[in-house]
A = this chain, B = another copy of it.
Amino acid sequence: MADVDIVFIGAGNLATHLAKALFANGFRVLQVYSRTEESARALAECVNSRWTTHLSEVLTTDALYIVSLKDDALLQLLPRIVAGRERSLLVHTAGSIPMSVWEQGATRYGVLYPLQTFSKSKEVDFGEIPFFIEANSAGDAELLATVARRLSSKLFFVDSEKRRSLHLSAVFACNFTNHLYALAAELLEKQGLPFDVLLPLIDETARKVHTLTPQEAQTGPAVRYDEQVIGKHLQLLEETPELQHIYQTLSQSIHALSLKSKDKP
């Protein structure tokens, strides 16, 4: 096992969970940087490391630097992160930012992208989470794999283009899905019904696609485009044209996909 020490640039949700998991698996976290003292200190205390709120005070070592910042902050701070650390391995954790951003100055760089949604208050089990790895040398890709393998058995080496598609598909499967939960919650609230009543359905919908493809799992009025039911639903949504539009768009898309699959031999 490679003896890798780690510096975290960023202390958001992803950085926090990843740092804690690495620490719990025997890695040393040398330092945590965050713009705000509260975040830097909180994470540093969890992983028994130093912390700073000044980029200029970030250590210059041969550690692995895991940079987990918001996309725009990453791009803005990148030159200062690279400066003086040209011989360190620098990686970011962003789904939609290509590895090539590091080309401005870095010599050893890559990406370590765990595909998951992280909330500060919820513990995360990394064991099942897929890590997508990219590096500008085979040696560093292997080094990142050695690190990730301590947390998860699901490692994939993918290039930046594939990772961007992954991120896009995650927006559909997570952000958009969650938004449908939010819209359903609004509909129930109007009727004075608690959101809780949907949880068994939400859970089962997620569970089903562990054993069936999403297409096999599909049910409901849109599959056969049941005009009776759909018409009444659209009527119920009359006062919220935005929801009506979403309902119609998704119903048509479900129906189109179901026709497409019937055409297949």
Contact = CB atoms under 8 A, between A and B. Distances in A.
Nearest to A220: B175
Interface in A219-252: 219-222, 226, 228-229, 232-233, 236-237, 242, 245-247, 249-250
A149 interface: no
A254 B66 CA distance: 30
Contact of A177 (B167, B168, B177): B177
B115 A200 contact: yes
A162 B187 CA distance: 10
B198 A250 contact: no
Interface in A199-215: 199-215
Contact of A206 (B121, B129, B202, B218): B202
Nearest to A204: B117
Given A170-B198, A201-B173, A249 B245 contact: yes
Kindly report how many copies of this chain are found in the complex they form together: 2
Given A165-B236, A184-B172, A178 B208 contact: yes
Nearest to A154: B197
A122 interface: yes
A212 B185 CA distance: 12
A212 to B, nearest CB: 7
Interface stretch (A34-42, A45-53, A84-92, A188-196): A188-196
A218 B174 CA distance: 9
Most chain B beta-carbon contacts within 10 A, residue among A117, A119, A154: A117
A219 to B, nearest CB: 6
B204 A254 contact: no
B217 A178 contact: yes
Interface of A: 71-72, 96, 115-117, 119, 121-122, 124, 128-130, 154, 156, 158, 161-162, 164-185, 187-188, 190-193, 195, 197-215, 217-222, 226, 228-229, 232-233, 236-237, 242, 245-247, 249-250, 253-254, 256-257
Given A122-B207, A162-B191, 13 more contacts: A71-B228, A96-B232, A116-B201, A162-B192, A171-B222, A171-B233, A172-B183, A173-B198, A175-B219, A178-B219, A182-B215, A245-B249, A249-B249
Contacts of A72: 226, 228
Contacts of A254: 175-176, 179
For the complex of A and B, list the 7 residue pairs with the smallest distance between their C-beta atoms, beginning with the closest: A175-B220, A182-B214, A181-B214, A206-B206, A169-B184, A173-B184, A172-B184
